[in-house]
Amino acid sequence: MTPYVHDYLFIALLTGMAIVLGVAPLILAQFIAPKKPGQSKQAPYECGMESTGDPWVQFNVQYYVYALLFVIFDVEIVFVYPWALVWKTMGPAIFVEMVVFLAILAVALIYAWRKGVLEWE
């Protein structure tokens, strides 16, 4: 066997162990956990107080838009931070790539701003 086969076997072993260690507690809990259903356990719980109103409340789409915009610009930092640490050592090409990346995000932000997505009603 080649050395690469040993590496892949090791990765397969680790993957198998990860799956077993993730699924085993779930299966074990099905057999060991006590099952005592009751009225209070089946009731919806909200901060220690009785729930009022319909649980199926429709939220405004703007909440989701803000959340998506936050995720987009939050993930941007995941790319910008490591780049900021090494950009001087990598040459001008990496600087141009990051400028293009930030320009695309800036255009997206300007587009969302002009469409009125960021205006709260």
Per-residue model confidence (pLDDT) at position 74: 86
Q: Is 59's pLDDT higher than 70?
A: yes
For residue 19, the 8-state DSSP code is H
Dig out the tokens for 95 from the structure: 């600087």
How many Å is the maximal CA-CA distance in the chain? Answer: 66
Confidence of residue 51 (pLDDT cuts 50, 70, 90): low
Q: Is 88's pLDDT higher than 70?
A: yes
- The region of weakest confidence among 22-31, 52-61, 73-82, 88-97 is 52-61
- The region of weakest confidence among 10-19, 36-45, 59-68, 72-81 is 36-45
What domains are there in the chain, each with its CATH number? 3-114 (1.20.58)
Mean pLDDT of the chain: 84
Per-residue model confidence (pLDDT) at position 13: 96
Average pLDDT of span 25-33:
93
